[in-house]
Amino acid sequence: MDARLFGLLSEGQVGEYRAIVPAKRHTRAQVAWDKKWGGPVSVHSDGSVLAIRLLPGQRRPRH
């Protein structure tokens, strides 16, 4: 994933994030496990972000 874009979002700099995203529209989605977030994060070429993690107190199911 684009660390710069993720950094802007995590710092609350949404305006700068929105200014950069249009230039990256033609790149494919980037998906990675983010250790700081604690789950997978996907940044798509249109600027949308999907980040998933377990909430505190939730346990992972045992298989």
pLDDT tens across 6-59, in order?
A: 888 889 998 998 888 777 666 666 778 888 888 888 887 777 888 888 888 877
The half-sphere exposure of 8 on its side-chain side, counting CA atoms within 13 A, is: 16
Q: Report the candidate in 25, 46, 36 with the shortest Cα–Cα distance to residue 3.
A: 36
- Here the tokens at position 42 are 């996907």
pLDDT of residue 21: 77
CA distance 15 to 46: 15
Q: What residue segments make up the domains of the chain, in order of their start?
A: 3-51
Give the C-alpha separation, 63 to 30, whole Å: 29
Query: Are the C-beta atoms of 27 and 44 separated by less than 8 Å?
Result: no
